[in-house]
A and B are shown apart, each in its own frame.
Chain A
Amino acid sequence: MRLDLRGPDQLRIPTIVAGLAVLGAGVALTALAAGGPLGVLAWFPILAGLVVAARGTGADRAFRWTAIAAAGIVLLVLGVIALVMIDRASPVLGKMGLAFFTSSRWSAPDAVYGALPFIWGTLYTAAIAVVLSVPISLGVALFITQVAPRWLKKPMVYLIDLLAVVPSVVFGLWGVLVLSHHFGLGRSFLTAGIILGIMITPIITSLAREVIETTPASDKEAALALGCTRWEMITATVLPHSKGGLVGAVMLGLGRAMGETIAAALVIGSALGQITLDPFAPGNSMPAVIANEWGEADDMHKSALIALAVTLFVITIAVNLIATTIVQRSMRRSRGA
């Protein structure tokens, strides 16, 4: 490598920081000119870094604080989301109280908002999606890791990833204009469940594949040496080994299915107040209601929709956190073993 004879901090870092600052200031000014304080928010870390740089002992500290501020943005955004959403949801929650979660009457003209049918719809469609997707995802993950010859592995992984690239609105379009006209599906819980199931399959598959691949080769070889068939080897070593991670993968898929808006909004049927186990009945789910009703909502109605969003937010985050914890714990354990 060519020796750089300039001093460690004489040129480049200040140049880069200054460049970023000018860029940030430019964006901030444009946003300010448009009359918005939020544009500044995006480039807050750069400005914060500069402020500290002016007072601190040079570029090294400035860069460190810039990075810290950038990481802090995550906390800032999440905090603001929680505050703003809860603040806007409070009118309807104050008016309806717990009935918001337990009543099944949702009527904007009467200003009565009971979200139970939509909570049901979200949980029910997500459950259908998971039930359909899990055996298939697991089968594909096992095929890729245990059965497929080496040359087939990469194309298979690509195929699954392709499924993840298709935008959800395209799945929704296909669901409403093609799938719902076949098999007597119509727009229903089941149609939404199928579409969501297709959408979460790549997530569950790729996570399951990663978890399964951590099974030590020695375990598998031991099972085979004892005379196990391939399936016996899988049930004796692979599945017990990756049980925790697989549960986590399924729960991440569940979280994704519950939060998915657009595909569900297109195919679920937008029926009010249906709490039924009949999969062919049209229904509604929380994100679908928000997307479909927002346009013509008055203030109280909007507040109710925001309260729905808060509910959805809390449920999906709880599911996601549990899932992530399980996956990480099982990955760490299997790596340690």
Chain B
Amino acid sequence: MLADAPLEPGALRRQASWRATKSAIMTSLMIAAVIVVAVPLIAVVWSVISRGAGVAASSFPDFFTREIPVVSRRAGPGMGPAILGTLLVTAGATVIAVPLGVLGAVYLHEYGAASRFARIVRFMATVMTGVPSIVMGLFVYLTWTMTFGYSAFGGALALACLMLPVVIGSTEQMLRLVPTTLREAAYALGSTKSRTILTVVLPAALPGIVSGALLAIARAAGETAPLLFAVGAATRYNPDLLHDANTALSVQIFGNATSSFAAAQDRAWGAALTLMIVAFLITFAARVFTARFALKR
């Protein structure tokens, strides 16, 4: 292309400078993309803090402890039952999903490896991560709630179904990082396979497993759709995991967001602030775990 063109003085330099300009333009577009990403994040966090903190602070600490007003247009505090509900549901889901997920990953990496059953399970776990959360909610409604009624446990089941494949995936990744020499050393000392896994492999991978599980928990704590069907809509404290309707922060936000009453909207912002603090704290704990105890990658 260049060979055919008659070369006037400065042509090459002009071309070079256009190429440099183009590169600079694209680079600034990338920087613009970063700014565009930051805008909604800042806007959301700002809205939640500015509106939520006002609500929570004006009736501190009642907002976090009082029960939810039955009549939603009435102003005044109360998200206590929702906070308790979120904690109950998330804790229940963790107790169900994390042991199962870790055990499943132990099978996939330590026993199954490339066997057909392991490949099928791995494939299906990928499929399961793609199941929309509302489908999980309907599933739990049909198999649990229709028979036993609303309860925090139903919500925990739904969230556990969402968490399980995530925990399996992150745990398997962590097990992959444990050096084979560690296992071989344990075998050489006469340890059986199960003992090697329980006393050598899992402890070595523990920080990563914990951090992966925490991230899954943080996501689950913010889930709404599965809880709509399984948990119900209580306005009073219900510490019973297994019986009667409960509520959760996310459900309260969803319910109050479309309300036309300012009082209800205020409560939604307050609940959003609380939920974001919970999610950020859990994520932060995961980061600390990764940073403090991570295996070298």
Task: Write the nearest CB–CB distance from B189 to chain A, whole angstroms.
Answer: 8
Choose one: A80, A234, A262; the contact of B143 (CB below 8 Å).
A80
Known: A8-B192, A290-B138. A139 touches B228 (CB 8 A): no
B193 at the interface (CB under 8 A from A): yes
> What chain B residues lie within 8 Å of A77 (beta carbons)?
128, 161, 164
CA gap between A160 and B223 in the complex, in Å: 19
Known: A45-B100, A229-B22, A261-B133. A174 touches B195 (CB 8 A): no
Q: Is A316 engaged at the interface, CB distance under 8 Å to the other chain?
A: yes
Q: Which residues of B contact A169 (CB under 8 A)?
A: 222, 224, 250, 253-254, 257, 272, 275
Q: How far is the CB of A259 from chain B (nearest CB, A)?
A: 3
Contact of B34 with A177 in the complex, beta carbons under 8 Å: no
Cβ of A138: which chain B residues have Cβ within 8 Å of it? 33
- Name the A residues within 8 Å of B250 (CB-CB): 167, 169, 262
A25 close to B (CB within 8 Å): no
Q: Is the interface of B mostly helix, strand, loop or mixed?
A: helix
Q: A250-273 vs B: 1/0 string, CB under 8 Å?
A: 000001001111100110000000
A45 partner, pick from B43, B103, B118, beta carbons under 8 A: B103
* A142 to B221 CA separation, bound complex (whole angstroms): 32
For A321, the closest partner residue in chain B by CB is B127
Q: Which residues of B contact A8 (CB under 8 A)?
A: 190-192, 195
B47 touches A174 (CB 8 A): yes
Quote the shortest CB–CB distance from B137 to chain A (angstroms).
Answer: 8
**Do residues A140 and B37 form an inter-chain contact, with CB atoms below 8 A?**
yes
User: Closest residue to B141 on the A side, CB-wise?
Assistant: A294
- Nearest chain-B residue to A270 (Cβ)? B258
Q: Are B135 and A321 in contact (CB under 8 A)?
A: no
Interface residues of A in 185-240 (CB under 8 A from B): 198, 201, 205, 229-232, 234
Contact (Cβ within 8 A) A12 B153: no
- Report if A36 contacts B (CB, 8 A): yes
**Contact between B165 and A159 (Cβ–Cβ < 8 Å)?**
no
For window 83-105 of chain A, which residues contact chain B by CB distance below 8 Å? Answer: 84-85, 88
Asked if A174 and B100 sit within 8 Å, CB to CB, the answer is no
Q: Produce 1/0 per residue, B175-200, CB < 8 A to A.
A: 00000000000000011111101110
The answer to whether B192 and A60 touch across the interface, beta carbons within 8 angstroms, is yes
- Closest-CB distance, A209 to chain B (whole angstroms): 13
Are A136's CB and B44's CB within 8 A?
no
User: Is A156 in contact with chain B by the CB < 8 A criterion?
Assistant: yes
Determine the chain B residues whose CB is within 8 A of the CB of A266 once the complex forms: 254, 257-258
Selected from B22, B47, B133, B243, the residue in CB contact (under 8 A) with A178 is B47
* CB of B86, distance to nearest CB on chain A (Å): 10
Please measure, in the bound complex, the distance between the C-alpha atom of A30 and the C-alpha atom of B243, giving whole angstroms.
11
CB pair B147–A36 under 8 Å, yes or no, is yes
Q: A140-177: contact bitstring with B at CB < 8 Å (1 yes, 0 no)?
A: 10110011000000001001111101111111111011
Q: Which residues of A are found within 8 Å of B126, using beta-carbon distances?
A: 320-321, 324
Q: Which of chain B's residues 229-249 have a Cβ closer than 8 Å to chain A?
A: 229, 242-243
Question: B24-32, B58-66, B73-81: which lies at the A interface?
Answer: B24-32
Residues of B within 8 A of A290 (CB): 134, 138
With most chain A CB atoms within 10 A of its CB, the pick from B23, B44, B132, B144 is B132
- B53 interface contact, C-beta 8 A: no
- Chain B interface category by residue count: 35 or more
Closest CB in chain B relative to A171 CB, distance in Å? 7
Instruction: Give the chain B neighbours of A74 by CB distance below 8 A.
Output: 104, 121, 124-125, 128, 164-165, 168
- In the assembled complex, the CB of A17 is this many whole angstroms from the nearest CB of chain B, namely 9
Q: Quick check: is A329 within 8 A (CB to CB) of the other chain?
A: no
Q: B213 within 8 Å of A by Cβ? A: no
Q: Does A9 contact B (CB under 8 A)?
A: yes
A34 at the interface (CB under 8 A from B): yes
Q: Cα distance A221–B187 when bound, in Å?
A: 45
Pairwise interchain contact A170-B272, C-beta atoms closer than 8 A: yes
Q: Given the complex, which residues of A lie within 8 Å of B47, measured CB to CB?
A: 174, 177-178
In the complex, how many angstroms separate the beta carbon of B49 from the nearest chain A beta carbon? 11
Number of interface residues of A (CB under 8 A): 97
Q: How far is the CA of A85 from the CA of B104 in the complex (A)?
A: 25
Chain B residues in 8 Å Cβ range of A143: 30-31, 33-34
Chain B residue at minimum C-beta to C-beta distance from A306? B138
Which residues of chain B have C-beta atoms less than 8 A from A73's C-beta? 100, 104, 164
Against A, the Cβ 8 Å flags (1 = close, 0 = not) of B84-115 are 00000000000110011101101110111000
User: Of A62-70, A106-114, A276-284, which binds chain B?
Assistant: A62-70
* Contact across chains for A317 and B130 when beta carbons are under 8 A apart: yes
Does chain B have a CB within 8 A of A22?
no
* A64 contacts B218, C-beta separation under 8 Å: no
Contact of A172 among B110, B120, B254 (CB under 8 A): B254
A163 engages B41 (CB within 8 Å): yes
Q: Which residues of A contact B104 (CB under 8 A)?
A: 67, 70-71, 73-74
Known: A62-B194, A173-B257. 9 other contacts (CB 8 A): A8-B195, A67-B104, A81-B131, A143-B33, A147-B31, A262-B225, A291-B134, A291-B228, A316-B130
Contacts from A to B (Cβ < 8 Å): 8-9, 12-13, 16, 20, 27, 30-31, 34-36, 38-39, 42, 45, 59-60, 62-64, 66-68, 70-75, 77-78, 80-81, 84-85, 88, 135-140, 142-143, 146-147, 156, 159-163, 165-174, 176-178, 198, 201, 205, 229-232, 234, 255, 258-262, 265-266, 287, 290-291, 294, 305-306, 309, 312-313, 316-317, 319-321, 324
Q: List 20 A-B contacts (CB under 8 A).
A: A8-B192, A8-B195, A13-B194, A31-B153, A64-B111, A67-B107, A74-B164, A78-B127, A78-B131, A159-B41, A161-B283, A167-B223, A168-B222, A169-B275, A174-B47, A231-B26, A262-B254, A290-B138, A320-B126, A321-B127
